[in-house]
């Protein structure tokens, strides 16, 4: 038990460090986050919070990547969580006369021995595991120097981050955890040494107690007091540091997960709050929506988003992690002014992310998907683009050309509106105009499938397949415009609105039951973002329709494709954004294609580098995402088929943009002839014999 | 300083150009109209001059097909201060001389210091609007301009000649310049800004004056080019293609 003086000092420390400094800091954080712009309203917050606690409790979001490190994180997490309880008993040990839990709590008359033994055993084991986890983390950062904790050359970083601020913070936090947990553990060992007997329910502490066998009772008592202060006193002193440290993630991450976006992944938040006349997008820190400010506090700076980012992982100056880290350091530097509402505008492209990085994002959603704490750096980037577009500064010439063509012609190919259905004229079958006669399926063709000469043969083939299967379908013809998915993600909200209005007008002038499209990008915005005003139609991907046609027998496999060795690339907007992984896989199985998954598949698929990004006139040097992906496919198939046996290798795609991106990448990686990029349409044609019809 | 930019809509080259039944001109019902690309540069150059030296930019054009509003809203979004459309009963194919006469009648009343327009337009390709405006307004004219600055009542004009020769010319204001390219690529006007402007901005209307003399040329017949000759693609592997080449050369007595 503590002396009276010690107790007094402790109470005063708690009052000042926790009751004043830390609380003032937390209140400041609350005030800063509240200054962010409104975000879409959230529903069922208590249930969401509870779900987040369960998610964190099971460490689900952490195990999305880096499994081994996640195990060590789990050690620290469970240790720390359990220490909430442990610390309560430590306080009692300090303040309640005679309170002690060693040996099943025999010092206490009414102690439930079994329960106390269990408590001691878990505490003993978790203390050791926490120390182990922490040591692994420190070794990884400071001794083996994991490169994933670094940023690429040229990434805009806050000067304090540049000067090693994150490492310093990590060292302080790591040191705190080692001292806190280590001292508590040693304190228990000292108690056992004082009593001179091991406790079978505290095996590690008992083992350690042997080290103190020779110490005098006075020395043991001094040791118990010192370790108590290092364990419990330290927390009190450490509390205000949470306000500036990334370690606050342990409090904010569950809150951030509980308050995470509830709209579909494929639905961007509005450019400015509905009904307001605030400038769209974000130029300065406080133009960001409040969840983006909270993100900065949830971020633990683990850089898992960098690993999966098609830009950063291939050496670009874009780092989604740096967006969060820079925001946090910017807030820390201006904390008092921001909390007091007197901060000057803090430019995002000056302090948080460079314009070059802003335009390097392919909006593939991998960073958001992988983030263990529910951050959305991609949302910051889109909002910054929206603001840059309104200012009209530094727009890439290729993007500008595409946007101008989209506003004039409704497509980014620089071709006239009238040329859109040209592909259908060369067909020997008549395609219905959904504006003139009622159809079951409205086929939303999209730009690439309408205009790109490498894709139009497949567009025609898909028409023949639908015709063969007796599907009642039609197109909008000239009345179709680009759906606007990529336009919106490039930040051109006004043009997106215009394209959406054009298409909605064409939809209401047509009669159809549902929409089918081969383009995942169109699918995403039609399904998740269009304002259907009560007239919502089901939007399905052609993979689902084809599967359905086979399952219902309207299409028959006459020539199983068993000679192929194939892998499949999940398109971002079909997979990660819309959760559709199985239709294609079932379809391939149906066609008899042997599928071998790449390491990065389904939710963890790796972006082809396309989207609106393919409009960019300037692309950074070095390996392109599609090339990286083709190499992954070749490695996968080599592992399966064996070296030098490149026969009938297929790289299956289900997106017109993928066909183009990967066909190019096959050539530029000198894999021409080794692996063939092939669309589902071509496979279905072969399996049904329609290619020879 | 009072800067005036004359804009003109022409059939979009993005589409195929269908001819009318008589084969006398395009079928104007079946083409989309867009702003002449050189006029986009003229507008950009006007806004650049305004941003550097002050003044106001007035964008105007003949509303040939009742679709000029969007062009003018875009001009306002890019930095023009005022927009005027000339209205009347027009033929969509009105020639450059006639359009210049309508434009000049309105521009004269604006007492401009500087009149900019595209050096030419893809539809008639005669480069006449600029010179004709200058003639009507009795002002000096410089064409094929690729950069322009204004200082102390003088326009300093950058012009590129064939063979890589460049010239810097000083012209007393007021003057007319035909712009080949603005000093910077035309800026992007975000659609939300254009739509915002479309809700609030006023476009002034001016009645077209009685048409003056036309170009003096009459379009008699318009036709698609007739393909003469075609390329034969040689298929096969390198050896087969080489053999075919030898055959062809031998056949023509070249080997």
Distance CA B180, CA B160 (A): 9
Q: Please list, in sequence order, all residues whose beta carbon lies within 8 angstroms of the beta carbon of residue B129, skipping any fewer than 6 positions away.
A: B6, B8, B96, B99, B100, B103, B117, B118, B121, B178
- Classify the complex by whether its ipTM is higher than 0.90, answering yes or no: no
Which residue in chain B is spatially nearest to A417 when comparing CA positions?
B15
What is the three-class DSSP state of B230? coil
What range defines the domain where residue A482 resides? Answer: 400-688
Angle at the Cα of B211 from the Cα atoms of B209 and B213, rounded to 5 degrees: 140
Contacts of B193 in chain A (CB under 8 A): 390, 494
Average pLDDT on A310-330 reads 95
Q: What is the DSSP letter of B166?
A: E
Which residue in chain A is spatially nearest to B79 when comparing CA positions?
A392
Task: Say if residue A256's pLDDT is above 80.
Answer: yes
My answer on whether A665 and A590 are in the same domain is yes
Domain with B178 in it: what CATH number? 3.40.50.620
Angstroms from A420 CA to nearest CA on chain B: 10
Residue B133 contacts A, CB cutoff 8 Å: no
In a domain, B130, yes or no: yes
Q: Is the dihedral of CA B235, B240, B242, B248 positive or negative?
A: negative
Contact B14 A497 (CB under 8 A): no
Residue B170 contacts A, CB cutoff 8 Å: no
Q: State pLDDT tens for residues A420-445.
A: 999 999 899 999 999 999 999 999 99
My answer on whether A316 and A366 are in the same domain is yes
Distance CA A379, CA B10 (A): 40
The shortest CB-CB distance from A408 to any of B16, B34, B194 is to B34
Q: Nearest Cα to A609, choosing from A297, A264, A360, A324?
A: A360
Model pLDDT, residue A2: 86
Q: What's chain A's average pLDDT?
A: 94
Model pLDDT, residue A71: 97
Contact A419 B193 (CB under 8 A): no
Average pLDDT on A219-236 reads 94
Distance CA A656, CA A660 (A): 7
Contacts of A390 in chain B (CB under 8 A): 190, 192-193
Backbone dihedral region of A470: left (phi > 0), alpha (psi from -120 to 50 degrees) or beta? left
In a domain, A623, yes or no: yes
Model pLDDT, residue A611: 81
Task: Say if residue A667's pLDDT is above 90.
Answer: yes
What one-character-per-residue DSSP string does A43-79 give? --HHHHHHHHHHHHHTTTTGGGS-HHHHHHHHHHHHH
Which residue in chain B is spatially nearest to A400 when comparing CA positions?
B188
Which residue in chain A is spatially nearest to B196 when comparing CA positions?
A494
For testing contact with chain A, the best of B9, B13, B14 (most A CBs within 10 A): B14
Contact B16 A407 (CB under 8 A): no
Angstroms from B188 CA to nearest CA on chain A: 6
Contacts of B192 in chain A (CB under 8 A): 271, 280, 390, 493-494, 497
Which B positions 7-46 lie with beta carbon below 8 A of chain A? Answer: 12, 14-16, 30, 32, 34
- Which has more confidence, A666 or B210? A666
My answer on whether A299 and A349 are in the same domain is yes
Angstroms from A400 CA to nearest CA on chain B: 7
- Local confidence band at A622 (pLDDT 50, 70, 90 cut-offs): confident
**Above pLDDT 90, what percent of chain A?**
89
Contact B195 A494 (CB under 8 A): yes
Q: Please list, in sequence order, all residues whose beta carbon lies within 8 angstroms of the beta carbon of residue A334, skipping any fewer than 6 positions away.
A: A343, A346
Contact B192 A497 (CB under 8 A): yes
The shortest CB-CB distance from B14 to any of A400, A415, A492 is to A415
User: H or E segment at A7?
Assistant: helix A4-13
Q: State pLDDT tens for residues A63-82.
A: 999 999 999 999 999 999 99
In a domain, A519, yes or no: yes
Contacts of A403 in chain B (CB under 8 A): 188
What range defines the domain where residue B35 resides? Answer: 2-207
Average pLDDT on A102-120 reads 92
My answer on whether A618 and A517 are in the same domain is yes
| Token pair in block for residue A684 | 């279905």
Q: What's chain B's average pLDDT?
A: 92
Average pLDDT on A193-210 reads 94
Residue B194 contacts A, CB cutoff 8 Å: yes
User: Which residues share a beta bridge with A473?
Assistant: A441
Residue B193 contacts A, CB cutoff 8 Å: yes
Q: State pLDDT tens for residues A437-466.
A: 999 999 999 999 999 999 999 999 999 999
My answer on whether A141 and A204 are in the same domain is yes
Model pLDDT, residue A489: 96
In a domain, A273, yes or no: no
Task: Say if residue B212's pLDDT is above 70.
Answer: no
Model pLDDT, residue A218: 94
Contact A416 B12 (CB under 8 A): yes
Contacts of B190 in chain A (CB under 8 A): 389-390, 392, 492, 494-495
The shortest CB-CB distance from A390 to any of B15, B185, B190 is to B190
In a domain, B27, yes or no: yes
My answer on whether A254 and A291 are in the same domain is no
Task: Say if residue B211's pLDDT is above 80.
Answer: no
Contacts of B41 in chain A (CB under 8 A): none
For testing contact with chain A, the best of B15, B182, B192 (most A CBs within 10 A): B192
3-state helix, strand, coil in chain A (%, to 5): 60, 5, 35
In a domain, A521, yes or no: yes
Domain with A342 in it: what CATH number? 1.10.1060
My answer on whether A208 and A345 are in the same domain is no
Model pLDDT, residue A644: 66
The shortest CB-CB distance from B188 to any of A400, A497, A498 is to A400
My answer on whether A429 and A348 are in the same domain is no
In a domain, B165, yes or no: yes
Cα distances (angstroms) measured from residue A691 to each of A559, A635, A681, A682, A683: 11, 30, 10, 8, 9
> A408 with B189: CB under 8 angstroms?
no
Contact A498 B195 (CB under 8 A): yes
Beta pairing class for B9-11 and B33-35 = antiparallel
In a domain, B213, yes or no: no
Q: State pLDDT tens for residues A514-564.
A: 999 999 999 999 999 999 988 899 999 999 999 999 999 999 999 999 999
Q: State pLDDT tens for residues B42-71.
A: 999 999 999 999 999 999 999 999 999 999
Distance CA A122, CA A92 (A): 19
Q: Please list, in sequence order, all residues whose beta carbon lies within 8 angstroms of the beta carbon of residue A430, skipping any fewer than 6 positions away.
A: none
- Which has more confidence, A110 or A26? A26
Number of domains in chain B: 1
Residue B184 contacts A, CB cutoff 8 Å: no
Number of domains in chain A: 3
Model pLDDT, residue A353: 97
What is the three-class DSSP state of A414? coil
In a domain, A295, yes or no: yes
Contact B190 A495 (CB under 8 A): yes
In a domain, A657, yes or no: yes
Average pLDDT on B115-142 reads 95
Average pLDDT on B16-31 reads 90
| Token pair in block for residue A648 | 């009938």
- Local confidence band at A45 (pLDDT 50, 70, 90 cut-offs): very high
Instruction: Calculate Rg over the CA atoms of chain A.
Output: 30
> A247 with A228: CB under 8 angstroms?
no
In a domain, A275, yes or no: no
In a domain, B221, yes or no: no
Average pLDDT on A336-364 reads 95
Contacts of B16 in chain A (CB under 8 A): 416, 418-419
Contacts of B34 in chain A (CB under 8 A): 408
Of the three residues A354, A374, A391, the one that is the final residue of a domain is: A391
Which residue in chain B is spatially nearest to A496 when comparing CA positions?
B191
Model pLDDT, residue A590: 94
In a domain, A53, yes or no: yes
In a domain, B146, yes or no: yes
Task: Say if residue A652's pLDDT is above 90.
Answer: yes
Provide the number of CB pairs (under 8 Å) joining chain A to chain B: 59
Task: Say if residue B213's pLDDT is above 70.
Answer: no
Model pLDDT, residue A475: 97
The shortest CB-CB distance from A416 to any of B14, B187, B192 is to B14
- Which residues of A lie inside 8 Å of B (Cβ-Cβ)? 271, 280, 389-390, 392, 395, 397, 400, 403-405, 407-409, 414-419, 492-495, 497-498
Which residue in chain A is spatially nearest to B194 when comparing CA positions?
A494
């Amino acid at each position: 038990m503590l002396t009276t003086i010690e107790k007094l000092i402790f109470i005063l420390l708690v009052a000042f460090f926790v009751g004043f400094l830390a609380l003032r800091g937390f209140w400041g954080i609350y005030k800063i986050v509240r200054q962010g712009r409104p975000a879409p309203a959230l529903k069922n917050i208590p249930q969401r919070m509870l779900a987040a606690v369960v998610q964190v409790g099971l460490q689900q979001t952490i195990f999305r990547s880096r499994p081994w490190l996640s195990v060590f994180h789990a050690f620290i997490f469970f240790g720390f969580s359990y220490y909430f309880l442990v610390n309560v008993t430590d306080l009692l040990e300090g303040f309640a006369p005679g309170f002690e839990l060693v040996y099943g709590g025999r010092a206490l008359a009414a102690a439930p021995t079994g329960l106390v033994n269990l408590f001691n055993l878990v505490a003993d084991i978790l203390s050791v595991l926490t120390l182990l986890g922490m040591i692994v983390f420190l070794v990884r950062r400071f001794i083996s120097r994991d490169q994933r904790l670094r940023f690429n050359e040229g990434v805009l970083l806050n000067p304090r981050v540049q000067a090693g601020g994150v490492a310093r913070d990590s060292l302080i936090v790591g040191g705190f955890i080692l001292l806190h947990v280590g001292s508590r553990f040693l304190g228990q060992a000292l108690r056992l040494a004082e009593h001179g007997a091991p406790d079978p329910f505290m095996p590690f502490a008992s083992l350690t107690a042997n080290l103190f066998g020779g110490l005098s009772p006075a020395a043991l008592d001094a040791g118990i007091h010192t370790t108590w202060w290092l364990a419990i006193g330290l927390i009190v002193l450490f509390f205000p540091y949470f306000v500036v440290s990334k370690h606050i993630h342990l409090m904010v991450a569950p809150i951030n997960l509980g308050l995470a976006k509830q709209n579909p992944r494929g639905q961007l938040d509005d450019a400015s709050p509905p009904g307001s006349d605030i400038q769209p997008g974000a130029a300065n820190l406080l133009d960001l929506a409040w969840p983006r400010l909270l993100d900065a506090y949830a971020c633990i700076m683990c850089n898992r988003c960098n690993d999966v980012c098609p830009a950063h992982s291939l050496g670009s100056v874009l780092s989604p992690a740096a967006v969060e880290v820079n925001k946090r350091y910017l807030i820390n530097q201006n904390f008092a002014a921001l909390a007091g509402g007197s901060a000057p505008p803090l430019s995002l492209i000056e302090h948080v992310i460079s314009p070059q990085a802003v335009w390097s994002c392919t909006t593939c959603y991998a960073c958001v998907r992988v983030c263990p704490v529910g951050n959305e750096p991609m949302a910051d980037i889109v909002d910054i683009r929206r603001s840059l577009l309104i200012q009209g500064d530094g727009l890439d010439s290729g993007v500008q050309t595409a946007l101008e063509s989209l506003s004039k012609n409704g497509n980014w190919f620089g071709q006239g509106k009238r040329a859109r259905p040209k592909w259908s004229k060369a067909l020997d079958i008549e395609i219905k105009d959904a504006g003139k006669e009622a159809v079951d399926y409205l086929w939303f063709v999209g730009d690439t499938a309408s205009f790109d000469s490498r894709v139009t043969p497949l567009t025609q083939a898909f028409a023949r397949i639908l015709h063969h299967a007796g599907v009642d379908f039609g197109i909008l013809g000239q009345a179709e415009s680009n759906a606007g998915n990529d336009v919106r993600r490039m930040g051109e909200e006004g043009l997106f609105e215009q394209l959406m209005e054009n298409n909605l007008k064409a939809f209401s002038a047509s009669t159809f039951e549902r929409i089918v499209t081969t383009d995942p990008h169109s699918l995403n915005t039609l399904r998740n973002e269009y304002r259907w005003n009560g007239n919502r139609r089901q939007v399905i991907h052609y993979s689902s329709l084809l599967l359905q046609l086979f399952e219902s027998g309207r299409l028959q496999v006459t020539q199983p494709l068993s000679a192929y060795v194939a892998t499949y690339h999940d398109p971002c907007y079909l997979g990660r954004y819309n959760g559709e992984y199985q239709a294609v896989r079932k379809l391939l199985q149906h066609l008899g294609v042997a599928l071998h998954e790449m390491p990065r598949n389904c939710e963890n698929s790796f972006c082809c580098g396309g989207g609106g990004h393919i409009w960019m006139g300037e692309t950074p040097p070095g390996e392109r995402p599609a090339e990286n992906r083709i190499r992954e496919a070749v490695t996968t198939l080599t592992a399966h088929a064996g070296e030098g046996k490149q026969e009938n290798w297929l790289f299956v795609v289900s997106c017109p943009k993928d066909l183009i991106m990967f066909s190019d990448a096959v050539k530029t990686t000198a894999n021409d002839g080794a692996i063939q990029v092939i669309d589902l349409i071509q496979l279905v044609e072969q399996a049904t014999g329609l290619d020879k019809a | 300083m009072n800067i005036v930019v004359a804009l003109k809509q022409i059939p979009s080259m993005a589409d195929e150009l269908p001819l009318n039944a008589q084969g006398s001109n395009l079928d104007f019902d079946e083409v989309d109209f867009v702003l002449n690309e050189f006029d986009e540069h003229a507008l950009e150059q006007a806004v650049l001059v305004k941003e550097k030296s002050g003044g106001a930019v007035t964008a105007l054009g003949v509303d040939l097909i009742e679709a000029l509003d969007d062009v003018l809203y875009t001009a306002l979004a890019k930095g023009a201060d005022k927009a005027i459309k000339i209205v009347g009963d027009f033929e969509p194919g009105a020639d450059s001389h006639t359009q210049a006469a309508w434009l000049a009648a309105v521009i004269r009343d604006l007492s401009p210091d500087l009149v900019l327009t595209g050096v030419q337009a893809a539809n008639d390709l005669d480069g006449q609007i600029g010179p004709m405006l200058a003639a009507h307004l009795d002002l000096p004219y410089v064409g094929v301009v690729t950069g322009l600055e204004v200082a102390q009542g003088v326009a300093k004009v950058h012009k590129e000649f064939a063979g890589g020769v460049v010239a810097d010319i000083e012209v007393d204001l007021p003057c007319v310049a035909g712009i080949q390219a603005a000093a910077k690529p035309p800026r992007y006007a975000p659609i939300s800004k254009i739509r915002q402007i479309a809700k609030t901005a006023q476009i002034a209307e001016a009645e077209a004056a009685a048409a003056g003399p036309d170009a003096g040329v009459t379009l008699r017949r318009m036709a698609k080019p007739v393909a003469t000759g075609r390329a034969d693609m040689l298929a096969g592997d390198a050896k087969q293609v080489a053999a075919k080449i030898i055959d062809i050369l031998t056949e023509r007595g070249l080997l």
